[in-house]
Amino acid sequence: MLNMLSIIYWMAIGLSAGAVIASFFEWTLHRYIMHRPFFSFTYPFRSHAMVHHHIFKSDHTYHVIHEKDKKIIPMAWWNGPVLILSGMLPVLGLTLPFGHWDAALGVFIAFSSYYGAYEYMHWCMHLPKARRVERSWIFYRLNGHHLLHHRYMHKNFNVVMPVADLVLGTLILRSKIKFPQARGAAVPDVQPRAVGVR
Helical axes 101-126 vs 79-95, angle rounded to 10°: 150
Quick one: pLDDT at residue 194? Answer: 73
Q: How confident is the model at residue 73 (pLDDT cuts 50, 70, 90)?
A: very high
pLDDT, one tens digit per residue, over 156-174 is 999 999 999 999 999 999 9
- What would the mean pLDDT of 79-104 be, rounded to a whole number? 94
Looking at the chain, the number of H-run helices and the number of E-run strands are 7, 0
> If we measure between CA atoms, which residue out of 169, 140, 144 comes closest to residue 155?
169
What's the CA gap between 174 and 146, in Å, rounded?
Answer: 11
The letter for the amino acid at 81 is P
Is pTM beyond 0.85? Reply is yes
- What would the mean pLDDT of 167-183 be, rounded to a whole number? 97
pLDDT above 90 (res 2): no
Rounded to the nearest integer, the mean pLDDT of the chain is: 95
Quick one: pLDDT at residue 64? Answer: 97
- What would the mean pLDDT of 36-64 be, rounded to a whole number? 96
pLDDT, one tens digit per residue, over 16-34 is 999 999 999 999 999 999 9
- What would the mean pLDDT of 59-81 be, rounded to a whole number? 95
First to last CA, the chain: 53
